[in-house]
């Protein structure tokens, strides 16, 4: 079985497509997470591949599905944004040989293939469909949703895994080479130029503050709210390892990484895997958990004129994304109970919010909105998952939270100021992301 990247035809990237033809016909029913760690300890038991198997089996059990019923697997084969295997470092063959191998010895350690998963999960004996959604769980989710909608698979696992090696991020692999090919040469944080990953977002945020008369200090309530929500997420890194509430003083006094982006405006890289089980609405009726229906997915593929997007380009793109999200779901901004948009760099969350026109926001309104009650107890919750800021870099906490809120399984994070009926999640970046609308009902 050869696994390929999803074709462009599977994405909803333009306006004017109308309501998604598979609205309410696909449901999420199972969730699985591995434990989190800061970095790999070098053992076979704690590889990224081992975490992947753990999370997948958790999702299967959570859905109450016999593994023989599963016929699909969608995953992201990219398992880091900056912790690449150092060129020339020996590969630990004792770890490699602890699992059924593919042709690549780093498979299951510093990258991941569908083939490796199937070789090491013999219970998935009836998987006939595999596909990649590279880069993000948000990407894999829309591919899986579309695949189930189209009938390519009827019971599909969705997986995103992260590895994190010893050493500093973006200090190995392509970042250490004397020459860098193509678009990588213009990617901040990864290449010859050496700028941190948050550099582009920091420039956009600085322009945002100048244009609208805001300040970096106004982010403090959002940051405190995110950490608070993350500490209520038992599967998250901060909850498991460093249960420390972020104070306003901590945030305002943090060192700059790319001013005005500080240390806490950048998510912390961790090792973790997350998995979901998607199925048809009809099959979901007989499964263990309450189904959460996918009523639309949409993707941003906006182009920029230069190396980095301008504030104007970001605002134009997020507004278009918001319109695509609502059009395909057949809803309006007023129908959203809550939002869980991406926050890997905290300073672009407001672009997502304003593009959605969440709670009536227009451009320039979000930081003022943060000064109000944005808690899970209030009527205007912001990022109830806590996101990457609250639980570490996974890019999937927000999806899990949407599903759990609607299922009534969010525990201490449960929304009490609104009834969680329709939520939206997705990312990563304001330009170039994938987004999903979740609902308690199929219509």
> pTM score, two decimals?
0.96
The CATH architecture annotation of domain 196-267+293-443 reads: 3-Layer(aba) Sandwich (3.40)
Q: Tell me, what's the pLDDT at 191?
A: 53
Which one of 3.40.190.10, 3.40.47.10, 1.10.760.10, 1.10.10.410 gives the CATH number of domain 4-164+269-284?
3.40.47.10
Three-class SS of the chain: CCCEECCHHHCCCCCCCCCCCCCCCEEEEEEEECCCECCCCCCHHHCHHHHHHHHHHHHHHHHCCCHHHCCEEEECCCCCCCCCCCCCCCCCHHHHCCCCCCCCCCECCCECCHHHHHHHCCCCCCCCEEEECCCCHHHHHHHHHHHHHHCCCCEEEEEEEECCCCCCCCCCHHHHCCCCCHHHHHCCCCCCCCCCCCHHHHHHHHHHHHHHCCCHHHHHHHHHHHHHHHHCCCCCHHHHHCCCCCCHHHHHCCCEEECCEEHHHECCECEEEEEEEEEEHHHHCCCCCCCEEEEEEEEECCCCCCCCCCHHHHHHHHHHHHHHHHHHHCCCHHHCCEEEECCCEHHHHHHHHHHHCHHHCCCCCHHHHCCCCCCCCCCCCECCCCHHHHHCECCCHHHHHHHHHHHCCCHHHCCCCCCCCEEEEEEECCCCEEEEEEECCCC
Could you tell me if 129 and 45 are in contact, meaning their C-beta atoms sit under 8 angstroms apart?
A: no
CATH 3.40.47.10 in the chain: give the residue spans: 4-164+269-284, 196-267+293-443
Averages of pLDDT over runs of 10 residues in the chain (443 residues) are 95 98 98 98 98 98 98 97 91 98 97 98 98 96 98 98 89 63 50 74 97 98 98 98 97 97 97 98 97 98 89 97 98 98 97 98 98 98 98 98 98 98 96 97 96
């Amino acid at each position: 079985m050869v696994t390929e990247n999803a074709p462009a035809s599977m994405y909803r990237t333009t306006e004017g497509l109308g309501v998604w033809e598979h609205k309410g016909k696909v449901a999420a029913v199972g969730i699985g997470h591995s434990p989190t760690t800061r970095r790999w300890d070098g053992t076979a038991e704690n590889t990224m591949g081992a975490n992947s198997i753990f999370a997948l089996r958790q999702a299967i059990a959570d859905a109450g599905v016999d593994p023989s019923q599963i016929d699909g697997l969608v995953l992201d084969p990219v398992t880091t944004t900056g912790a690449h295997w150092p060129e020339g470092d020996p590969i630990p063959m004792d770890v490699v040989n602890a699992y059924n191998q593919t042709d690549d010895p780093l498979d299951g350690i510093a990258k991941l293939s569908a083939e490796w998963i199937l070789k090491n999960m013999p219970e998935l004996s009836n998987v006939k469909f595999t596909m990649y959604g590279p880069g993000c769980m948000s990407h894999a989710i829309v591919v899986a949703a579309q695949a189930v909608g189209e009938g390519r698979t009827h019971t599909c696992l969705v997986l995103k895994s992260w590895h994190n090696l010893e050493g500093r991020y973006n200090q190995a692999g392509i970042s250490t080479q004397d020459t860098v090919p193509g678009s990588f040469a213009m990617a901040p944080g990864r290449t010859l130029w050496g700028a941190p990953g948050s550099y582009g977002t920091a420039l956009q945020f600085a322009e945002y503050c100048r244009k609208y008369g805001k300040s970096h200090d106004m982010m403090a309530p959002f940051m405190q709210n995110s950490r608070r929500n993350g500490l209520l997420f038992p599967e998250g890194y901060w909850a498991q390892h460093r249960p420390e509430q972020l104070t306003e003083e901590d945030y305002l006094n943090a060192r700059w990484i790319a001013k005005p982006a500080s240390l806490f405006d950048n998510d912390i890289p961790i090792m973790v895997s997350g998995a979901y089980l998607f199925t048809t609405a009809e099959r979901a009726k007989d499964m263990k958990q309450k189904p959460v229906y996918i009523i639309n997915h949409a993707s941003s593929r906006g182009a920029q004129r230069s190396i980095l997007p301008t504030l104007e380009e970001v605002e134009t793109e997020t507004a278009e994304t918001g319109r695509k999200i609502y059009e395909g779901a057949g809803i309006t901004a007023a129908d959203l109970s809550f939002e869980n948009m991406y926050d890997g760099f905290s300073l672009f969350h407001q672009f997502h919010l304003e593009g959605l026109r969440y709670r009536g926001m227009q451009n320039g309104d979000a930081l003022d909105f943060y000064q109000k009650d944005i808690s899970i107890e209030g009527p205007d919750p912001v990022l109830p998952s806590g996101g990457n800021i609250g639980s570490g870099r996974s890019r999937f906490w927000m999806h899990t939270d949407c599903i759990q809120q609607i299922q009534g399984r969010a525990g201490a994070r449960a929304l009490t100021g609104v009834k969680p009926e329709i939520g939206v999640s997705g990312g990563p970046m304001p330009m170039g992301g994938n987004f999903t609308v979740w609902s308690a009902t199929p219509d």
